[in-house]
Amino acid sequence: MVAQKLKPESRADFGILLGLAYQAFVDQLRADLERRGFADLTPTVGYVVRAIAASAEPPSQRDLAAHLGITDQGAGKIVNDLVARGFVTRRPSPRDTRANAIQLAARGRKLLAAARRFHARFETALASEVGADADVTRRVLTAIAAAADDSAAGRLRAT
């Protein structure tokens, strides 16, 4: 199927527009981060890095799994990968001697900062294009996200 560029006045189904908007955003984010030295990223990496950064204390792997709505084993696989890639570190937890605390490594903090800068630039560019409608767009997206199930709500809380 050949992709067609949508016109701003398009009456495509709302869900289709949401999906296309998300994909366009993610594609631009990935390209921006790749230019900054962060290749082969997935949305999962972003969710985990943001969840760790948003925690008042470094979370355990179990805390991270619960927050993201995934299994402990799933969180373990993700954390192992992120440790191997230099995004996070494991340290003995000061709260629980049986657990490790997961913290952002310098590379993870740089990724988070680069992603946040992209988010700000994207929103500023959108606001310059659509004006006050950008605030309405944010309210609509927040309302949709707030109505999401628990696993999606966990990803939202991680922002």
What is the residue extent of each domain of the chain?
41-157
Q: What is the pLDDT of residues 68-125, one digit of tens each?
A: 889 999 999 999 999 999 999 999 888 888 889 999 999 999 999 999 999 999 999 9
Residue type, 96: D
> Range with the lowest mean pLDDT among 8-17, 42-51, 59-68, 93-102?
8-17
Is residue 61 a contact partner of residue 75, using CB atoms and an 8 Å limit? yes
Entry pTM: 0.81
Of the candidate CATH numbers 1.10.10.10, 3.20.20.70, 3.20.20.140, 3.30.1600.10, the domain formed by 41-157 belongs to 1.10.10.10
Phi, psi torsion values for 101, nearest 5 degrees: -90, 135
Measure CA of the first residue to CA of the last residue in the chain; give whole Å.
35
Q: Where are the beta strands (DSSP E) in 28-116?
A: 88-92, 100-104
Q: Is the pLDDT of residue 147 over 90?
A: no
